[in-house]
A and B are shown apart, each in its own frame.
Chain A
């Protein structure tokens, strides 16, 4: 069996575009999921009873479902429920956001809980509303504490974007497998895909380790 590794070079533009799409998906999902995670965590901690139940149910639901199933489900259900035809990218983004928001909500809940209650009480005693106290005192401190976990979630998300390839979103995994189908160069393209993910993911994982060391909080 002969291997033709030049096919990877020939498809470099497509692979680069796929990589860019992967990054775009990751960034966009985090941009949505971090604020939404804070909101859901706040609902769960400080909301009225029905909101609290909703937030808890939401988090428990999406933490206990495989992401690939959420992707498929979003692909078929969202157009019907929302009445609009979403692009595959938007559907993938929606599914990823729903999933990561749930994880972030748990992360922020733990982070907010780790800020001593005295801070919130002092803020309230100074006359701030609860929202003001959260926004100006608690959440900024919690953000710093949860940074390592968020970084770890980022790396997981980066890898999970590969799952939206099943609904034909043109990220790295999809592009690689399309190239494989077109050229029949299975080993070359699949190995290239693995290597590219490794080249992108390894530094990110090391960065997460560094962030964990740098931002470790000991009280």
Chain B
């Protein structure tokens, strides 16, 4: 933890914020791609210490938020089947599908279990040979290696009762989709540090060049984020556009080569629908032909399920950075973490939930007497 507290030091943070204010001469819009970064920005109030010209746009980087409604409906259909043990990361349980969420399936008798790792699901499959064990394999490049490893081990060990419902998504195609959208306002990206741990950042120089945007590989602690923002602003002010690594203690250019090999063996690139955004070409992974037998969609015959998203919910506009969460008419009214219309309100990494939980009023009308209140 020592290495973490070092990156949370208040005084250094204020100094960095001051430095950003000093170098900023005009308005800039910077998108943090990763939901973990959004969570940290709002939880630590980093947007409050930035100069008003620097606007943070919260990107589509929460894996829970962008998992398509169809995948949730498929998960619910599978989890409701008798004899199935359905395993998921915790924050997927409250994500609303078209009608239900996994919590309701559980309360109606479904065997839904929270796991911290896909390898836990594998262990459950081993201990329950007479039952079908399904793992909901979602996430960005970050969770993919462990998910791939679980499927590979299941095949190697002949665990025929294990399967995965796969809905993986990829960062670089999402960056392209955002840059290609007609109302794009993003001028620079903070690339997600943990994704780059796996993938490295060799794919990014081409994007910088094609769209003339700075991309700064950035971590998650307050000082990491402020340093990433500082470097992005510096490039913008100087009219530069290249890849910078502001998270070198964790990320190198090539990434984790062993993890990449594992992914390449188990997954193949596919078009993927993103909740609230639509289909982005080549933006996902599915099981490769050699591992198709472990695909829960086929095994449980849920491949044909289709779904329509709420018309009130503007999660798509939030995820594209077109509006802030509190600019959505349903925010805090029809849509709250208790009754979310879209997944951005569900996951604690979701931009809407982060605004609601940590920044709802502070953003809008924090009275000065409170802001100035010193605790004795």
A complexed with B: no
